Amino acid sequence: MAKIAVIYYSSTGANYQLAQWAEEALKEAGAEVKLLKVRETAPMKAIESNPSWKKHYEETKDVPEASTEDLDWADGFVFSVPTRFGNVPAQVKQLLDEAGGLWAQGKLVNKVVTAMTSAQNPHGGQEQTLTALYTSMFHWGAIVVTPGYSAEEIFAAGGNPYGTSSTVDGEGNLQDDVEKAVKHQAKRAYTITKQIHS
């Protein structure tokens, strides 16, 4: 059994849903899983200005927050993050930056990573966000496992070989049928993680 941390950041719930599907698939496959949210750093004024954001913030207060201890614990990661101008959200970047101590000790080398994302339009930076996240993983010495075109589910979900992606409306509702693609991607990453960490 390999240990997988499913780490997500979500303002209005779309990436939380993707993360939950990944968690479900990983448990079905036999993984030891932690579902963790990235700590919210936006001011409450900003959160409260968007009813959907505030609702999701309140509904997920009990989800544990990801820490560097979790990064150390896991053999592999599934990240689910929205795009912010073709990059990861600042909240996610903060977590990655906090991993410097682990990086310096070589504790992130050979960890398996896969990621998925969302944006409000089909060309809102999804692929760029995934490659931006993976760039940090290259510095970690992690092993990036993308879905590529390894299953029909990927084509049905829009065909993003870098990681499952979806468009989302202003209230956080996924606009694409991506559940099967998410589950395939998570299980693929788990299979590779087991092969490397067995």
Q: What is the CATH number of the domain that holds 137?
A: 3.40.50.360
- Residue whose pair of structure tokens reads 């970047």 in the numeric block: 93
Q: Which amino acid is at 133?
A: L
- The average pLDDT across 183-193 equals 98
Residue 117 domain boundaries: 3-197
Task: With CA atoms as reference, report the closest residue to 110 among 193, 8, 33, 5.
Answer: 193
Structure tokens at 129: 């966000």
What is the pLDDT, as a whole number, of residue 149? 97
What is the pLDDT, as a whole number, of residue 71? 98
How many CB atoms within 10 Å of residue 97?
10
- Considering its fold, how many domains does the chain have in total? 1
C-alpha span between 14 and 175 (Å, rounded): 10
What is the pLDDT, as a whole number, of residue 170? 81
User: What is the pLDDT confidence band of residue 1, given thresholds at 50, 70 and 90?
Assistant: confident
The mean predicted confidence, pLDDT, of the chain is 96
Task: With CA atoms as reference, report the closest residue to 168 among 121, 115, 116.
Answer: 121
What are the pLDDT digits (tens) for 151-165? 999 999 999 999 999
Q: Which amino acid is at 73?
A: W
- Residue whose pair of structure tokens reads 């919210």 in the numeric block: 40
116 Rama sector, left if φ>0, alpha if ψ -120 to 50, beta otherwise: beta
pLDDT of 181 above 90: yes
